[in-house]
Structure 1
Amino acid sequence: MTNPANPPNVPARGGPGLPQVRRLVTEIPGPRSRALAARRSAAVARGVGETLPVYVHAAGGGVVVDVDGNSLIDFGSGIAVVSVGNAADGVVEAVREQVGRFTHTCFMITPYEGYVAVCEALNRLTPGDHDKRTALFNSGAEAVENAVKIARSATGRSAIVVFEHAYHGRTNLTLAMTAKSTPYKAGFGPFAPEVYRVPLAYPYRWPTGREHCGEQAAARVIELVRDEIGAGEVAAMVIEPILGEGGFIVPGRGFLPRLAEFCADAGILFVADEIQTGFARTGQMFACEDEGVVPDLITTAKGIAGGMPLAAVTGRAEIMDAPQVGGLGGTYGGNPAACAAALAAIGFIESADLPARARGIGELALPRLRALA
């Protein structure tokens, strides 16, 4: 019996060497994918969803090859993760070299240079020339949770302001911060308290049209924070500079800068959730740079490490240093193999100038998309 994990007539490994072509050799899903789907239904919890019922055997560049030998264009990128290409040579080599030396010590027990080097890179790359500090975690939701912890510790306040259409994660606190009920929140409450939702500057749906959307929405948010929540109670305002799961919404121009200005005046920390938009995906290294916004804290994950699990919170030194020693961390946060992958991925993003590459794709695609609209 053929093992579906080692099918014939498919590449032995992924990476940039895979032919960058779309090629169908079976129906979708093919027989080996269907066999694996049967095993999945008997072994994997029903709540773990899927988008495309093919089982990947190899991936590289912009394609994935399934266990039946079909080569498919990879528009998913692991939910915006493998920005440098799947199994990129530099990332693979860095991980291989690191795991050959050691796989884990826990940075809080016995530290290592890779963790420090990733923090140095994020302090350098994130917006603003102020003194910064960084802490590393495993996932985007962990980064958001820790940003909230840090903000509450630094300000002595408890309330968190989030936005319509937001997505911040699947843990209890980040579900409270996430807007969409189904499938994320339904049946999982009660959720963490002291989270308040306010309107988003959604140009396509703003009642008076897109021209004044940014300024009008910002004025409404500021009014709600002052009058209904109490600005003096708010530790942080958390927003995705471009919303992802909520519908890929670019807020109206001027919305983010005006809110950042208000937060600075009110002693509220402005937190940019750049977990999906960070690392060259929007034509800038970080999306908030488009309007010159410098957040107090910025959360990153996804594109940071070429597919290895890593996340971070970076921010102003005095804010990041507010929690007590031992108040931040985790067993696997900043795993050495993930740190090695991040340094390789960041090096490639910079050397290949992937922000410029993203701008080039935008210049090609946007005129055609606007014509379709």
Structure 2
Amino acid sequence: MSLIERRSAAIARGVGVATQVYAARAENAEIWDAEGRRYIDFAAGIAVVNTGHRHPRVMAAARDQLDRFTHTCHQVVPYENYVSLAERLNAAVPGDFAKKTIFVTTGAEAVENAVKIARAATGRSGVIAFGGAFHGRTFMGMSLTGKVHPYKAEFGPMPGEVFRLPFPISLHGVSVEDTLAALERLFKADLPPARTAAIILEPVQGEGGFYPAPRALLSALRQICDTHGIVLIADEIQTGFARTGRLFAMEHHEVAADLVTMAKGLGGGFPIAAVTGRAEIMDAAAPGGLGGTYGGNAVAIAAAHAVLDVIEDEGLCARAEALGSRLRQRLESLRDRVPQLVEVRGPGLMVAAEFNDPADGVPDAGFAERVRRKALDAGLILLTCGIYGNVIRFLPPLTTQEPVFAEALDILEAQLIAASDEARHG
């Protein structure tokens, strides 16, 4: 029986896979499958291994911790590196105010806990999220997520007291003014500010299509939250840890959220997530109200310390800017050869290309999928995203070697042109 057949027989259908590449080993930006074939990884575990697969310093930190202990549960027998990582995040997260941190295991847990904290701090229940958002697969995460298939279909009913606004996307004809007008209508018709605990958004939407939040929106939301005592939550789970050219994407906007959720790139491949925020808000929950058995696992904490060291010592914020600029320029140069390409966007190395049918302007998910498959056949792993599935997102490790990055761009160009030529000739 093949590995594909074994997987199908053993694993629930709901766990989808983007490829049938079964990893045997990986190094920096490259993966070799069980048959020895090499791939260039432009997914990075969905923005997890920003520091590359098996970065030597991350691996060394994890091994050192393994030699000491693997788990005590911080809530039972605490340990120093949990405390020191909290101190580092408190200092690094944007905002000129005292902060505190908790550690959990997954991004969805971080979001759930941020909502719990906001409700405890305000005594309110309503939470506002955005169309196209992705905040996880747990029930509150699904309720906040603004995409039905495959995340919410067949799983209802969702938790109540979650309300949604349109996310401003100029390409789709939605302005910041439209979003703020919708918020004003929401306050008047369904959810008064006095019942609103939090507004949560991604500084750059992830699964929704890599749409950056306009600075004007974040500035307006900050003012509205300050006026009405609402907690502003920035979901930096995919945008964090140098991916956008800053340690956190909110730094691009000079707006500080009250709470920040993070995961993915923090652990460099080890599962860890966190919520960092205003100390007085973070302290709203009573002892025992927050935490989890594996939250802040000692090995993942050690790896996270190394990740922060690598980002600083290797200048990965600047490298994200440099590699992202090269990728965007290469994509833009293909507009004449690939008429399906309608927009290239994204800060740092969180880049997206959106595709429409040139005949009618309709989102072309089929073309995006064709490019993804052709690139995979040529040895380049890509991911699609977006409400319509017509966006290819690029998330290579920030440590990708120069020759490997150049090779990937050549593969990408060739497969985009080939897919466009195929579409043109039927």
TM-score scaled by length of structure 1: 0.87
The aligned counterpart of 1:156 is 123
**Counterparts in 2 of 1:93-132, with a 5 A limit?**
93-132=60-99
- Please say if residues 94 and 344 of structure 1, whose CA atoms lie closer than 8 Å, have aligned partners that are also in contact: yes
Tell me which amino acid in the other structure corresponds to 1:309.
P
Maintained 8 Å contact 1:214/1:253: no
Letter in 2 for 1:90: R
Q: 1:226 to 1:274 in 2, by over 3 A?
A: farther
How far residue 336 of structure 1 moved from its aligned partner, in angstroms, is 0.2
Asked if 1 retains the 8 angstrom alpha-carbon contact of 2:29 and 2:52, the reply is yes
Match of 1:309 in 2: 271
Q: Does residue 245 in structure 1 map to residue 199 in structure 2?
A: no
Identity fraction in percent: 49
Q: Residues of 1 paired with 2:289 and 2:226: CA distance?
A: 25
Paired residue total? 335
- Give 1:52 deviation, angstroms: 0.9
Gaps of 5+ in 1: 1-33, 208-212
Q: CA deviation at 1:364?
A: 1.6
Q: 2 CA distance for matches of 1:118 and 1:85?
A: 21
| Match of residue 63 from structure 1 | 30
Matched, 1:270 2:237: no
1:78 maps to 45
Q: How does 1:30-49 map to 2 (within 5 A)?
A: 35-49=2-16
Question: For the aligned residues, what is the CA RMSD?
Answer: 1.3
Quote how far apart the aligned CAs of 1:284 are.
1.1
1:205-284 aligned at under 5 Å gives the runs: 205-206=172-173, 213-284=175-246
Is the counterpart of residue 50 in structure 1 residue 17 in structure 2? Answer: yes
CA–CA distance in structure 1, aligned partners of residues 50 and 220 of structure 2: 31
1:15 is matched with which residue? Answer: none
Confirm or deny: 8 A CA contact 2:202 2:213 kept in the other structure: no
Which residue of the partner structure matches residue 326 of structure 1? 288
Q: Is the 8 A contact 1:214 1:251 kept in 2?
A: no
Q: TM-score, normalised by structure 2?
A: 0.77
* Structure 2 unaligned spans of 5+: 336-341, 343-426
Which residue number in structure 2 is paired with residue 5 of structure 1?
none
> SS state of the match for residue 73, structure 1?
strand
CA contact (8 A) 2:165 2:179 kept: no
> Is 1:357 matched with 2:319?
yes
Equivalent position amino acid for 2:121 in 1: A
Looking at structure 2, the residues matched to 152 and 306 of structure 1 have their Cα atoms a distance apart, in angstroms, of 31
Structure 1 CA distance for aligned equivalents of residues 260 and 27 of structure 2: 29
In the alignment, the residues of structure 2 paired with residue 228 and residue 206 of structure 1 have an alpha-carbon distance, to the nearest angstrom, of 25
- 231, 250, 257: which is aligned to 1:295? 257
Give the aligned partner of residue 191 of structure 1.
Answer: 158
Which residue number in structure 1 is paired with residue 407 of structure 2? none
